[in-house]
Structure 1
């Protein structure tokens, strides 16, 4: 994230937003800048790719389904826009740790041969996908589901705009593997930024259809673990 912060400082924040006597590496300034950049970036990705997916990929015939809610698209967008600032608070704290040099992200691609960089990319995808699976499963536990995860399942016939329509706790927990990875494993900064953007776009692209569980699947899963909730 320091690449984005440095670019923002160079092209906009210094000296057009902050006074010239406020150092770019001052912690409070960095936190404030990261909060604004994170929210604007997340909102831009969400609205841009959500709109593209909604108009060019989403099957609009699904809007005729009886479980497609009245004014659902507007409600999805409103829920997401309200949640994103709260999700960004702990997210910015982790970005701040990256900027201050506590992660294993590195600057020079020469420090890692291309074969090893490819391995790091694959490990990122494996680690984050596995992490999200278990976090998602954990959020279906009866003690957590109704309070934190059920709001996301309000959208039975999801559009791409449902992708970020989470309760803030749910949204942050499911993003946590992406933020933890660079503190555990090395990765080039540009690669990490590209992968982070990619997974956000991918998240939007998978929320574009009818994802109701079949009754047979529901009873099969619930019989294996009565603590899991789906409704």
Structure 2
């Protein structure tokens, strides 16, 4: 909160925007869930799965890779000049995000970026319990990459898109669009090694000022 780019009453604004977004996003989300419980998806009970533990693990990996790929391209499209100012700009108002910024989106922007989570079980078989667990996980992950804690095990720095990577996305705009991994940023030419891990991050700026 000491950083020059941390805006006045930012947390209050993040909470207000996030609360409104979650409210409006809940309507299309419930509609999709309704289709799922009515049997229009490929969700199944755990005991109906025929692949056992290996099948569960494979579905988790598939879910993460599928959603990471889709979200990368949806997120990148949100930065197109024809769309950005109408939708995604609200989220980028927060250059130094807090965990409350994790859901502070325009409702349409937020739902579009959550759409891959809903699409996956309509395309691929998935256990209901695994789906629920992953849905909780992705919300926790979204909070974690906005939490300002830039520590990440060294071996994972070039693989996992953590808070250190994502704060650079907020600061420098055209980098690190990924959700969990850095794969698509590398393939798409948008990867940026975290400034916070080079002694040039927000905490370092504060130390210099002090």
Answer whether TM exceeds 0.5 for this pair. yes
Aligned length: 158
Q: Of residues 20, 25, 28 in structure 2, which corresponds to 1:82?
A: 20
Structure 1 residue aligned with 2:205: none
Q: Give the CA deviation at 1:193.
A: 0.4
Q: Pairwise mapping of residues 37-48 of structure 1 onto structure 2 (< 5 A)?
A: none
Structure 2 residue aligned with 1:92: 30
Structure 1 residue aligned with 2:97: 158
Q: Distance in 2 between matches of 1:91 and 1:75?
A: 24
Q: Pairwise mapping of residues 74-153 of structure 1 onto structure 2 (< 5 A)?
A: 74-112=12-50, 113-153=52-92
**64 and 130 in structure 1: CA distance in 2 versus 1, 3 angstrom threshold:** same
* Mapped pair 1:204 → 2:143: yes
The one-character-per-residue Cα deviations of 1:44-78 (angstroms, maximum 9, x if unpaired) are: xxxxxxxxxxxxxxxxxxx1111101111111001
Q: Give the CA deviation at 1:177.
A: 0.2
TM-score (norm 1): 0.64
Q: Distance in 2 between matches of 1:100 and 1:178?
A: 18
Deviates more, 1:144-153 or 1:86-95: 86-95
Q: Distance in 2 between matches of 1:106 and 1:216?
A: 39
The one-character-per-residue Cα deviations of 1:120-167 (angstroms, maximum 9, x if unpaired) are: 110000000111000000111111000000100000000000000000
Unpaired stretches in structure 2, ≥5 consecutive residues = 149-166, 176-188, 191-210
Bigger RCO of structures 1 and 2 (CA < 8 A, at least 6 apart):
1
Q: Distance in 2 between matches of 1:139 and 1:214?
A: 15
Q: Distance in 2 between matches of 1:153 and 1:120?
A: 33
* Mapped pair 1:180 → 2:119: yes
Q: Distance in 2 between matches of 1:129 and 1:74?
A: 29
TM-score (norm 2): 0.71
Q: Pairwise mapping of residues 49-68 of structure 1 onto structure 2 (< 5 A)?
A: 63-68=1-6
Unpaired stretches in structure 1, ≥5 consecutive residues = 1-62, 218-223, 226-231
Q: Which has the higher helix share?
A: 1
Q: CA RMSD in A?
A: 2.2
